[in-house]
Chains A and B, each alone.
Chain A
């Protein structure tokens, strides 16, 4: 029986659904409670911190020996800045931790924290990144000459000619407002001190446990071996939980200093204020189009607000450099000019968030295609047909090599399912009645599963990418897989078990996967960048494949045939064209207890494998159908279709879950979520009453269709699918809104397209609500 391709219910779910999950907060009840005192202002000099006499309180002065968090990119245009775990002299954003309180319970810790009085000499904060770019702007960091901390530039030779030859030049200024990944579980950590060994175990809600251990050890100047990091069940991360945050360094410092266990469970206000944000970007594009709609060249100025600090380990280059490299997306054109800057401001740090820049760049490209199509009198699908990549491998203007995909086919499949002719009829009929329907397209590429070469190309000092997997079968024939990757809720254990089942011929239920424990797993990079299935999956397949080879050799010896004649399936090793067979459990027992019989084989069944691929591109087309209420600016999504090509689907149900969840976050990005600061850098959206993740009521049924391009770039034949939903949805929705509002000539270039903004545009177009 093949397990790959089956909609196997997730092996994780029985525990999670019955309250048997174990998150950090579930484990923290016996520890002392930690509360951080946070800066009430965005920028200023710390004059004094008055602390109450009773209470365990530490400030930056107590942690002067702790090194700042200072991630490095080896690029001439990168300016490294340090983030003190607790600042001594100045604060750089509202919400920055400036002191830490330890007390018996969280309420008492808050009581003490309230009595810490911080005297800050407040300075004018730089919040808006256009202001930060002004020539006379004061640098946010005194040790950096300007507020541009990283800048990528390139310009192909023929760009000027492309513009000279253009029949139509489309210019647009796109703005994506800041967002939070808003994982269901906030951050949190429990640092336990073991008096016997002097070691600390940090249990934390994180995506990169091994990296966290290295980062904390480096910052505190302690041996890595004295620290164990555990990522237990994690309630979502979406990139937010990748970075090394000061809070975790402080927790380990406290456990060592106080020789006791301490826990910090972040609340939602802190998470919105001081974890990490993303997508605060302004992109200016100029596209040179030929009369037939072919894109000849693209010139872009891209600005990303990276906040007050650079996130470790991926650095503040993560958004600007992703935008720099991947703006061309699914389109085939040669001439490209780009300047992409990461700009620092007195706001919460930017860190990766599902999609990283690609939601904004897809939004920009797809808006540009629609605008160009209208100007040139070409249908929106047709202009894409003329520009999409059709031959493979494709080399982009920035040198990225796209493996085979189905850009055009995916769009045609989605369009067919959407039945556009019928939609257009209905749209026309409803317009007569003053109801405005619209349809929008979004075609995009999603670079996934990339290993060290891609990160090395960015000049990262810490180059992530590979995964190591240890696979061992015990004497009963059950398997333990130890992975360096670290799932945060996406069902990875189920998918890996299916993959390994097919290699070894045993049921997925017999495969236990150990992850997220630096004492029990090989060094690995965790979960991000749509990598786990491709890379940890690839390493799992390779490691299990080695065990399979050994099993076959043992079986061949015992049944006196050649290993080539052995097939592992349904728990048995069978000799082909005969009825001879042995249970896999019996072979495993022999491997351990009769090892003397197998000449040239090491005893036992324990293998390890590494996988470090170059990367593979998934692709998809999203189609949104919406109705816009022109009196209120409200948007209702009627239908949302996704035609996705992620190669071979290991577990289609889990893949559909990834797409649906991603689209939900894309809808949030398109219509709802926005982090808002006032002019002084004070956060105005510090709870879910003002920061608005959509609820189930706002998310329509997502109709998903699959294409299956098999790529040689992935040993599992699977491509990554973690981010696509979030990448494509904003463009499709806003294109649909603009289609609905086309009778009024309205084009929107801002995310999210809130009802207020839509009404504003309508008002400017002279459409009044009973005025």
Chain B
């Protein structure tokens, strides 16, 4: 379990990094927190000829609220979210979610952007980005582009990023105080990847749901936004009778997914977990 030989480069500026990426393209890999890449290299499942370490790039080390968005620079570690990073529901939700990502030491190194770039279908941040409609800012020597979450994830471990691109920043819409949020995850052990999970959020005005977000992860090849169920929630009164609709929505969620099976969870079991997760996330948000 030792990595195959590779060259290691540590650019001092973003410009230099982008130039290296443009030169080496498929032969190189970006090293961020290393918490997914390094194990894969040790198993020799990943064999990049060149590693480009981005940890010195101050341009990528930021986390700020700006014009209604939370802007998460590529070097923002998971641990940054242990305490709410913005006031209001978004900060609360991220602080709740982050505790389900791996273990404390891993959270000190692993990055938000690394999780999205890696695109594990059971990644919590991928679910959050998908459900809350994040925008990804990709940079290359060719320029910059903004990719919507719905276009970013292409499948297990694959994204819209080109080999010469770096995911420089993620932008999450900041929720106003009238949003309510919920999250539920089922995993075998503390810190394991989810076998099933759901994020729910609803904007409630005058006792009625005006806007809703609902997404599930840990099933299929990427996180899934359940748009049709979001639509059903809109207009529903957020009072005690919401319980009945939550049960109905949980039931419908099971039918909207096509999970695959593995040794830890058969497709049928994953449906159970998704139904339970949807119900619990919604209940936390609304009931």
Q: Which residues of A contact B (CB under 8 A)?
A: 106-107, 110-111, 114, 267-269, 631-634, 672, 676, 684-685, 687, 689-690, 692, 694-695, 697-698, 754-756, 759-760, 763, 769-771
Contact with A756, one of B266, B275, B279 (Cβ below 8 angstroms): B266
Closest 8 CB pairs of A and B: A697-B190, A107-B2, A267-B1, A769-B272, A770-B275, A631-B276, A770-B250, A770-B251
Contact with A698, one of B5, B190, B273 (Cβ below 8 angstroms): B190
CB closest chain-B residue, reference A107 = B2
A694–B190 CA distance with the chains assembled, in angstroms: 9
Q: Determine the chain B residues whose CB is within 8 A of the CB of A111 once the complex forms.
A: 4-5
Interface size class of B (residues with CB under 8 A): 20 to 34
CB closest chain-B residue, reference A690 = B263
Contact in complex: B191, A632 (CB < 8 Å): no
Q: Which residues of B contact A (CB under 8 A)?
A: 1-5, 43-44, 103, 186, 188-193, 195-196, 247, 250-251, 254, 263-266, 268-269, 271-273, 275-276, 279
Q: Determine the chain A residues whose CB is within 8 A of the CB of B2 once the complex forms.
A: 106-107, 110
A763–B267 CA distance with the chains assembled, in angstroms: 13
Contact in complex: B265, A756 (CB < 8 Å): yes
> How many contacts between A and B, using CB within 8 angstroms?
82
Q: Determine the chain A residues whose CB is within 8 A of the CB of B251 once the complex forms.
A: 770-771
Q: Determine the chain B residues whose CB is within 8 A of the CB of A107 once the complex forms.
A: 2-5
Contact in complex: B189, A763 (CB < 8 Å): no
A106–B4 CA distance with the chains assembled, in angstroms: 11
Q: Determine the chain B residues whose CB is within 8 A of the CB of A106 once the complex forms.
A: 2
Contact in complex: A694, B263 (CB < 8 Å): no
A268–B264 CA distance with the chains assembled, in angstroms: 20
A106–B27 CA distance with the chains assembled, in angstroms: 24
Contact in complex: B186, A632 (CB < 8 Å): yes
Contact with A692, one of B1, B103, B188 (Cβ below 8 angstroms): B188
The secondary-structure label for the interface of chain B is loop
Q: How far is the CB of A768 from chain B (nearest CB, A)?
A: 8
Q: Determine the chain A residues whose CB is within 8 A of the CB of B269 once the complex forms.
A: 633, 755-756, 759-760
Contact with B254, one of A676, A759, A770 (Cβ below 8 angstroms): A770
Contact with B189, one of A632, A676, A697 (Cβ below 8 angstroms): A697
* Most chain B beta-carbon neighbours within 10 Å: one of A694, A756, A763: A756
A687–B265 CA distance with the chains assembled, in angstroms: 17
Contact in complex: A676, B263 (CB < 8 Å): yes
CB contact under 8 A between A684 and B263, given known A634-B186, A672-B188, A692-B188: yes
Q: How far is the CB of B118 from chain A (nearest CB, A)?
A: 14
Contact in complex: A685, B247 (CB < 8 Å): no
CB contact under 8 A between A769 and B264, given known A695-B189, A755-B188, A756-B269: no
User: Could you give 9 example pairs across A and B, Cβ below 8 Å?
Assistant: A631-B275, A632-B272, A676-B263, A690-B264, A692-B189, A695-B189, A695-B191, A754-B264, A763-B268
Contact in complex: B190, A771 (CB < 8 Å): no
CB closest chain-A residue, reference B273 = A632
Contact in complex: B276, A632 (CB < 8 Å): yes
Q: Determine the chain B residues whose CB is within 8 A of the CB of A689 once the complex forms.
A: 192-193
* Most chain A beta-carbon neighbours within 10 Å: one of B186, B189, B192, B193: B189
Q: Determine the chain A residues whose CB is within 8 A of the CB of B195 once the complex forms.
A: 755
A574–B211 CA distance with the chains assembled, in angstroms: 88
CB closest chain-B residue, reference A106 = B2
